[in-house]
Structure 1
């Protein structure tokens, strides 16, 4: 194995993100610049593979899978070691996340800590992955027959991951796949390639055999090449609903897990504890510059509280420090690109043209959109019916709880919803009636513990992340019977 850090050779004095193929860090056919999200200047280069390199990578991954002799215990040990290696690289990762993701230190440290936890949870799941006993003798004519199931890996897993959680979302695909005994080909976002390289370095240092972990940088073309490789048996994707539909159509009968778009709602009922709810709402709406699938886009407030919530939220949001992620005081950094910032800016303007009131917000500066709070947003405008994926929250009143539930269910998406109430009957009504993957009572839709099942319904996708659940998605149940 070549030196794990060899891919970080510099080109034009910038770090370089190379390709990990068959256990070796390799150059691609060409490179592209990766921008510092705040300064909008090149921060590193990413190597892009050619078609033959993608094919060679998948072939090597399949070969490594076939040769894999790691026991579940061994896989758990490697993943535990990888968590330690990640923690050792925390200082490097904070700086990389600041540059390529635009994360302030708080968001970067949160990613690192959760990523290490996800690796440790996956290590536990590797060691306890098992089937179940089948009561064969409970059927007529089966006396003396024993039955049980085992869980077997699928083969090569392709993980296609987004920019907005470039460590922990990647970990939720890579770690359970390895825990189950699969080989992994990772294609991270071109916006955030270096974090995936560092993760791969940590896995290699922890003892992952050559070929079981691969990294290919690239855009839609590389993803399409991976979809044309029959050796890939599972595609784990997080991204837009539109791209998810394309991947699903090309995957055919092969298995997939899709975590797709969302318009996240949070409901504040008239009996809610606002002192507890509003700080959580602000965090859920604006951390990572609102670039989380469960960032609160629409805050539904029962009419009796609407004036107080507007007043208090206006103050809280106006106080959020924003701008340079290198400043430890910054809470809201840049969005992923200047183009994304312009789109968000235009959506705010369209909402205002249709009568929305801007309670908090200011002028865009490059890729930085100031934390923005709006009221009276027309549901026909983009902010009312599309995922903004930026630091924008819209307050809307409701009269009855049934009205709030109907509004959430009226969107094509169904990822998660938060409800703040002291009434158990309303909490249970929400749990039963909301057409979403997760209902969080007295928490926001962004409430996520890495050991819980996480995923959506409707156009927000299907399948579940969370190591205990993902490892079963990425393995297959096989029945074994014995006639004694």
Structure 2
């Protein structure tokens, strides 16, 4: 289908999935293409009754899901992954239309989601407990004890707009692999591609009620706080993450929140490689990633050479129509988001920052901004930008910077480019963050790894093995 044909197509009316049935919502809202401005979907606004029905469907389905043996859950997930892989272009194109993400990135994200679901299938048959050596004490001698893992029951998953397919797969796949039922609430700004993903996964043959979808803000608090929910997995802002943490009571949670993308470039690094990676990972996905490169710290000895290389790379990045396969960076999620980033940059410049490159805005599209002469009190340094802007700051002594990151509210991931093993080990040992990526930026992620943050950046880890561990509970078995 051509771009013109897509633009003129009538909006798709999204339906909720509840207890194995598709349901229309009484109210909907428009989902617009941020590049073209046309309405591409009508997304449901789920009522409290819809939320109640979804929760009850999941409560009933958790028994059937828990009864499925691991090999059967694995078979269903492998089939689902194959179906997603077969529809990569369709789902990716929808994602590009509703989020403004470059089509090339949207297709890769969907391909990775299919691979991720395959990984979840493999983990479904590896859920293990632990033998406890009871003869370590006189009272335990002669007894047999094991810690065994069982599904938690009902998982609520709330996903964001910036990685709608990837981050839905990171919640849906492990929840089903562990034998749980799911209530899923996608972002109101990226509902259609997630709807297509759910349609596809359901074709694999999961029991009715295993996957339920609700939409909109009205139903959000209910599906988090309801006592029928056993686990909540959320990816999004720190503000909402804290609200969820306060509302869940005794439930366990996984919260993947924000960060400020610190990445170091030491004097012994491969400068050309570091500059290319930092430039591209500062603006990729229009900077809308929790681990986007935002604060780059460069040793004074190589600072000027690094800056020149970064600017050269930034100038080569192609911004444009998200549906053009030549485009490397599309739009932000909407014009409001682009204006917010534009204002943060303007504020920094008013406070003394120098814009080495100043991206211009056209609607929801914003070009790359590279700042220098910033200070830690500027919001572009201390707060998450979530846009295609980053700063470069020189340093001579790296230890105080490690300490400052450790003492800050954020702690998602950190990158460091160096050929010094001692410095790499020092970073790993002293920076309090969820991950330290050596000779990579803060944005590097492979889907099987344990990804997540500490402090205000979150609780728990994502990655099939690690999410399944969180979405199961331990039960002690003692044989006298």
Q: Give the SS at the match of 2:183.
A: strand
Report the alpha carbon displacement of residue 474 of structure 1 after superposing the two structures with TM.
0.4
Correspondence for 2:118 among 116, 120, 136: 120
Cα-to-partner distance string for 1:185-219 (whole Å, 9 max, x where unaligned) = 11010010012111211221111111001111112
Structure 1 gaps, min length 5: 1-11
Residue matched to 1:301: 298
List 4+ stretches of structure 1 deviating above 6 A: none
> In 2, are the aligned partners of 1:354 and 1:378 still within 8 Å (CA)?
no
In 2, Cα distance between equivalents of 1:381 and 1:297: 13
Q: How does 1:312-323 map to 2 (within 5 A)?
A: 312-323=309-320
**Residues of 1 paired with 2:78 and 2:34: CA distance?**
32
On the 8 A contact 1:226/1:232 being kept in 2, the answer is yes
User: Could you give the per-residue CA deviations for residues 207-253 of structure 1, whole angstroms, max 9, x where no partner exists?
Assistant: 1111001111112x221121232101111001111111100101011
Distance 2:322 2:166 in 1: 19
Tell me the SS of whatever aligns to 2:264: strand
1:178 to 170, 176, 179: 176
Which residue is 1:282 aligned to?
Answer: 279
Out of 250, 253, 267, the residue aligned to residue 253 of structure 1 is 250
CA RMSD of aligned residues (A): 1.2
Specify the alignment match of 1:107 in structure 2: 105
Q: 1:142: Cα distance to partner?
A: 2.8
Distance 1:18 1:30 in 2: 11
TM-score norm. by structure 1 comes to 0.95
Deviation per residue, 1:20-60 (Å, 9 max, x gap) = 00011100120100011211221111012111110011001
| Matching residue of 1:145 | 143
Aligned equivalent of 1:9: none
Alignment-derived partner of residue 82 in structure 2: 84
| Larger CA deviation: 163-172 vs 103-112 | 103-112
Match of 1:27 in 2: 24
> How many Å apart are 1:403 and its aligned residue?
2.8
Give unpaired runs (5+ residues) of structure 2: 1-8
Is 1:266 the counterpart of 2:263? The answer is yes
Candidates 390, 393, 407, aligned match of 2:390? 393
Shift of 1:477: 0.8
Matches within 5 A, 1:472-483: 472-483=469-480
Residues 142 and 380 (structure 1), Cα distance of their counterparts in 2 relative to 1, 3 Å cut: closer
On the 8 A contact 2:73/2:121 being kept in 1, the answer is: yes
User: Could you tell me how far 1:410 is from its partner in structure 2?
Assistant: 4.2
In the TM superposition, residue 130 of structure 1 has moved relative to its aligned partner by 1.4
**Cα deviations across residues 161-191 of structure 1 (Å, max 9, x unaligned)?**
1000001111111111111100011101001
Deviation at 1:141, TM superposition (A): 3.0
**Which of these residues, 405, 410, 419, is aligned with residue 408 of structure 1?**
405
SS at match of 1:141: coil
Cα shift readout 1:70-101 (whole Å, capped 9, x = no counterpart) = 11111111111111000111121121011112
Give the drift of 1:148: 1.1
SS in 1 for 2:125: helix
Q: Which TM-score applies when normalising by structure 2?
A: 0.96
Deviation, structure 1 residue 334 = 0.5
Secondary structure, counterpart of 2:444 in structure 1? coil
Q: Which residue of 2 aligns with 1:207?
A: 205
Partners of 1:257 and 1:387 lie apart in 2 by: 20
Matched with 1:377 is: 374
Shift of 1:411: 2.6
Alignment of 1:420 onto 2:417? yes
1:273-324, Cα deviation, whole Å (9 max, x unpaired): 0122122112221111110000000111011111111111111101211121
Whether 1:217 and 2:215 are equivalent positions in the alignment is yes
Q: Could you tell me whether the CA contact under 8 Å between 1:196 and 1:215 is conserved in 2?
A: no
**Mapped contact 1:332–1:371 kept (Cα < 8 A):** no
Alpha-carbon displacement from aligned partner over 1:140-169 (angstroms, at most 9, x marks no partner): 133331111211001110001100000111
Which residue number corresponds to residue 361 of structure 2?
364
How far the C-alpha of 1:325 sits from its partner, in A, is: 0.5
Find the counterpart in structure 2 of residue 237 from structure 1.
234
Alignment of 1:312-351 (within 5 A): 312-351=309-348
Is the 8 Å Cα contact of residues 92 and 109 (structure 2) preserved in structure 1?
no
The answer on 1:453 being equivalent to 2:450 is: yes
